Structure 1
């Protein structure tokens, strides 16, 4: 259509928003990657956004949360930690979010859910059992290297991968323990889990190889590179970064309301107030028509069996989520409104993420092939060196046998020490004859043979005899 908006370009992405432009300029001032800093900032915004702030259902399903998983791509020492540090400086307050590293899938539920004794009539515990409650409604996990996460996911019986998938989708976390007093469960819309991890290209397969489960598709892939970084360090941008966590804090449910949700286990099981209102209201963000049209087109393709396969098949879900977080980054008067520009910016960022992910996977495969080739070359070189050493040992052993045989044959055939031609000695040695001349010269150097008739001619024509006073054996 003629009036359809054109895709956003990279300069537009950074310059069409004062907030994003500040992030880019501040990152360049601190000599970090704007892309990596923005990814870390979006994860922090998702963390301070209450779990009851959601994206609409779009196609009639339940509203979805705004959890954010970020993969920062770069080699060791390229600046993943620096990017997180800059993001922390711009958004320092995470409203007491949990930041414990994941040890297991079961352990993630303990970030949010706990149990406490039921109070007695006098306000004290009287062995009346326990009740669930909300320990924390938000968490941001920072995993320095994806290899650590991969090692945990690869353990036999590990549930970390499926739990991470469920947490991104906002599904309930926790198992159904037989002992009710040990049962921990974080209900939907009662928690928000976010994750930042570093990915070296050689380890990209830890995520990429899980594309069947949809794990790599859930990540925003950012790079530690900035090809547009100026050679001269730019000054700190003027003005201030205007993101304030307090505006989002105003939307979050009270501790009492969260505890009631955790006790009920789901919004649908909460007791409605007498007024008939929602006991746990959700704040649903409002998206532009372009988002609804994109979702509808995607559903038609899925129903017709024409949706593309591979890791790009679920990019729309990530686009919806990022558009909401970009809108929250702006902190406009209407906090929950997502504009057409937010949507176009999210489309550009997801496209850039796909390019970063693809480049990371390709680079990783190339580096692994090069490493395997280098290792193979080292193995071949080591094998060749070992073979050469073995050959030298065998040759030395054969030479020693030839030397003993030369002495023995001369003692047998030249008892008067008149001298025997080298060629004849060679015939005496039979199969060891190829070492005859080398053995003769070595014995002569050692003083065990005498040269008869002068030093003329070749070894084969000279006359050789046992040295005087030197027994053959």
Structure 2
């Protein structure tokens, strides 16, 4: 379990020069083979597929939510499930809840598991895997979802929801395990997992909206300081870059049919380096100035010139 109280620690893994940290984390989430093989076995460090299980827990403030959301191309954003850590209904006078011991821990110990001396760098065999079954109607739903994703147009499945069914399956299994059932999960587990995923989507959309507002306020603050402190060259340069990006966005939308483009289509027509650094800031300025609109849909964000 990778546990980081601050998302900045996690983000740094992907921002190092020539880093493959995010790609390796994506592979770890789905239990793929990790590591690198050298000529010498002694210097090779690998974890074979399904020899391990991995998860990550991050503390993310809304103003830094883009550190996860911006990894939509790599697939990290699709593997994250968002849960609010705040509440307007918290009672400060309520007694502290004591952690309870999980009543089914002994069952795990009694299960037939592979010997402890198995080498993790050796391929797993079927007898070492724990197979979880689930109802056929749910299997049909999962297969239908996969079929939609395989279409050229992604079947209307939003890119950021590409792994939604996989994450729901994992929560269904977790609910079964919590209840002491280790061979299968039920439709009730699936429904409970659906409640989690609905909360996830609502929280994610809230985080996106809050992140945009906070980054927009930061941008306006920076612009004000740039006007007052013209000697601060870095701020002035960034402001110019944001303006350049904003003008480019307006030109591309103006040339598009109907004055509209999806987020990915728009980014592909712009300077890649500037997109990475200034696209979100430029969009925030244009929306704030009333020059464009940003509309969320299943297929992603659609931008329209006004």
Q: TM-score, normalised by structure 2?
A: 0.68
Q: For 2:93, which of 227, 233, 236 is the aligned residue? A: 233
Equivalence for 2:66: 205
**CA distance in 1: counterparts of 2:85 and 2:171, whole angstroms:** 19
Q: How does 1:341-380 map to 2 (within 5 A)?
A: 341-380=188-227
Secondary structure of the structure 2 residue equivalent to 1:209:
helix
**CA distance in 2: counterparts of 1:337 and 1:255, whole angstroms:** 25
Secondary structure of the structure 2 residue equivalent to 1:192:
coil
User: Any conservation in 2 of the 1:307–1:313 contact (CA below 8 Å)?
Assistant: no
Between Structure 1 and Structure 2, whose CA radius of gyration is higher? 1
**CA distance in 2: counterparts of 1:151 and 1:141, whole angstroms:** 14
Secondary structure of the structure 2 residue equivalent to 1:298:
helix
Structure number with greater CO (CA < 8 Å, separation at least 6) is: 1
**CA distance in 2: counterparts of 1:182 and 1:239, whole angstroms:** 43
The structural deviation recorded for 1:180 is 2.2
Q: How does 1:456-471 map to 2 (within 5 A)?
A: none
**CA distance in 2: counterparts of 1:243 and 1:227, whole angstroms:** 31
Q: For 1:324, which of 173, 188, 203 is the aligned residue? A: 173
The structural deviation recorded for 1:242 is 3.8
Q: For 1:217, which of 72, 78, 83 is the aligned residue? A: 78
Equivalence for 1:336: 183
Q: For 1:300, which of 141, 147, 169 is the aligned residue? A: 147
The structural deviation recorded for 1:359 is 1.2
The structural deviation recorded for 1:169 is 0.9
1:254-281 deviation digits (Å, cap 9, x = unpaired):
213x22x63xx2135xxxxxxxxx5x43
1:144–1:236: structure 2 CA closer, same or farther, 3 Å change rule? closer
User: Any conservation in 1 of the 2:51–2:124 contact (CA below 8 Å)?
Assistant: no
The structural deviation recorded for 1:239 is 11
What is the aligned-residue RMSD (CA, Å)?
2.4
The structural deviation recorded for 1:325 is 0.8
Equivalence for 2:160: 311
Return 5+ residue gaps in structure 1 as ranges.
1-139, 269-277, 385-473
Q: For 2:12, which of 119, 143, 151 is the aligned residue? A: 151
Secondary structure of the structure 2 residue equivalent to 1:223:
coil
The structural deviation recorded for 1:349 is 0.4
User: Any conservation in 1 of the 2:149–2:162 contact (CA below 8 Å)?
Assistant: no
**CA distance in 2: counterparts of 1:371 and 1:353, whole angstroms:** 26
Secondary structure of the structure 1 residue equivalent to 2:34:
coil
1:250–1:178: structure 2 CA closer, same or farther, 3 Å change rule? same
The structural deviation recorded for 1:299 is 2.8
**CA distance in 1: counterparts of 2:217 and 2:185, whole angstroms:** 46
1:158–1:330: structure 2 CA closer, same or farther, 3 Å change rule? same
Equivalence for 2:257: none
1:140-166 deviation digits (Å, cap 9, x = unpaired):
221121111212211111111111011
**CA distance in 1: counterparts of 2:168 and 2:74, whole angstroms:** 19
**CA distance in 2: counterparts of 1:237 and 1:153, whole angstroms:** 37
Equivalence for 2:37: 176
**Displaced runs of 4+ in structure 1, greater than 6 A?**
none
1:237–1:377: structure 2 CA closer, same or farther, 3 Å change rule? closer
User: Any conservation in 2 of the 1:285–1:337 contact (CA below 8 Å)?
Assistant: yes
The structural deviation recorded for 1:236 is 5.2
The structural deviation recorded for 1:383 is 4.5
Equivalence for 1:266: 123
Equivalence for 1:428: none
1:189-213 deviation digits (Å, cap 9, x = unpaired):
2112221111111211111111112
1:163–1:291: structure 2 CA closer, same or farther, 3 Å change rule? same
1:362-386 deviation digits (Å, cap 9, x = unpaired):
21121011011012212323359xx
**CA distance in 1: counterparts of 2:150 and 2:55, whole angstroms:** 31
User: Any conservation in 2 of the 1:291–1:320 contact (CA below 8 Å)?
Assistant: no
1:193–1:302: structure 2 CA closer, same or farther, 3 Å change rule? closer
Greater helix proportion: 2
Equivalence for 2:109: 249
Return 5+ residue gaps in structure 2 as ranges.
232-306
Equivalence for 1:56: none
